[in-house]
Amino acid sequence: MNTVYTFVRSPNHVYPDHPERPARLDILEPRLKSCDAELIETKPATPVEIGYVHNPKLIATLEKVCREEAPGIIDYAPTYVTNTSFDDALLAAGGVITCGRVVMNGDARNAFAIVRPPGHHAEPDRAMGFCLFNNVAIAARDALANGLERVAIIDYDAHHGNGTQAAFLNDERVAFLSTHQWGIYPGTGWIDDAPHAKKRIVNVPLPAGAGDRVYEQVAQEIFVPFVQSFKPQMIFISVGFDAHWNDPITTLGLSTAGYLMLARKVVRLAEEHCDGRIVFVLEGGYDPKNVANGGEAVFIAVTGKGESEASDPNPHKEPDCESRIQEIRKWHGF
Ligand SMILES: [Zn+2]
């Protein structure tokens, strides 16, 4: 079976000097032709689908602000909106829903939703952190609405997926795991954020500099038991390339080789536990070269074809995270 992808560039969702810009995708876009995957059409998410996660009041306010008051800044992150942002956000969410459905229906083996604006910071009642609607959370709820009973989301963007955590804090059908740099935006995501949901809501806060070696250990010692214990029928990945060591807005330490290792690990987990059903969803990543190399690594992992030509090892020393990883395992009983 094949790999499919959606591509929502949102060229008019752009703001002067803002890092979350269409140009993030400029190097990746021409390389997509050589990936062994099929581009599929997407359509905007409907208000009902957005409402799977978001409060109707937020949807109405956001539409009004975009259509009548934009361009402007709506929070301190800063998150911006333009006149097209509401429609761009509907199309981004639609791009993830489409990928989820084709994989769930068996029309494709797996998928990659390359969309912007990103989504994982958007909470049910609040757009924030460069995110308007929570694309991955909406698609996970759509999968549940269409018959699945258990969906897992693994988020290895550099930032905590606070919006996704908020959406599923009390929804036992969805398990959520986030790795992120501790001490940066949005400030949430400590180990004990959700004491009522051990094993199901899993936070892996990491110190600055954590890179390929640390992430490989996290994948082995935390991703594996997380998936084994929840037994999802499908896995969504919130993939952000801002954990790359030279991302301009964070200070983690992954290289492209590390991103490829992570993508292969989660693809393997999907093969072992849910017939290979996995959908990658783009979140952050603010250096276009990292987004291109990391995006290519996702395609290599999901298609099982090709090798990465990028060579960008992290020149810095990684911190020792052994005690942190063991503390997290102990908290969850992994
Ligand atoms: Zn991020």
Residue 223 has pLDDT above 90, yes or no: yes
Distance 283 CA to ligand 1 centre (A): 7
> Distance between CA atoms of 291 and 289, rounded to whole angstroms?
5
- In tens, the pLDDT along 90-123 reads 999 999 999 999 999 999 999 999 999 999 999 9
Among 246, 50, 25, smallest CA distance to 114 is for 25
C-alpha dist (Å) from residue 231 to 51, 218, 235: 26, 18, 10
- In tens, the pLDDT along 143-199 reads 999 999 999 999 999 999 999 999 999 999 999 999 999 999 999 999 999 999 999
* Overall average pLDDT of the 11-39 stretch: 97
Distance 232 CA to ligand 1 centre (A): 25
Cis peptide before 207, with omega less than 30 degrees from 0? no
* pLDDT value of position 140: 98
Is residue 89 very low, low, confident or very high in pLDDT (cuts 50, 70, 90)? very high
Distance 218 CA to ligand 1 centre (A): 18
Which tokens in the block code for residue 253? Answer: 């330490």
* pLDDT value of position 304: 94
* Overall average pLDDT of the 130-138 stretch: 98
According to DSSP, residue 319 is labeled P
- In tens, the pLDDT along 246-300 reads 999 999 999 999 999 999 999 999 999 999 999 999 999 999 999 999 999 999 9
Distance 186 CA to ligand 1 centre (A): 10
Which tokens in the block code for residue 123? Answer: 């909470």
Distance 128 CA to ligand 1 centre (A): 12
**Could you list the active site residues?**
121
- What are the residues whose beta carbon lies below 5 Å from ligand 1 (ion)? 157-159, 240, 242, 284
Q: Say how many C-beta atoms besides its own lie within 10 A of residue 183's C-beta.
A: 11
* pLDDT value of position 146: 96
* pLDDT value of position 48: 96
> Distance between CA atoms of 155 and 168, rounded to whole angstroms?
13
C-alpha dist (Å) from residue 44 to 8, 50, 132: 10, 10, 14
Distance 227 CA to ligand 1 centre (A): 23
Q: pLDDT averaged over the chain? A: 97
* pLDDT value of position 1: 65
Residue 61 has pLDDT above 80, yes or no: yes
* pLDDT value of position 137: 99
pTM of the model: 0.98
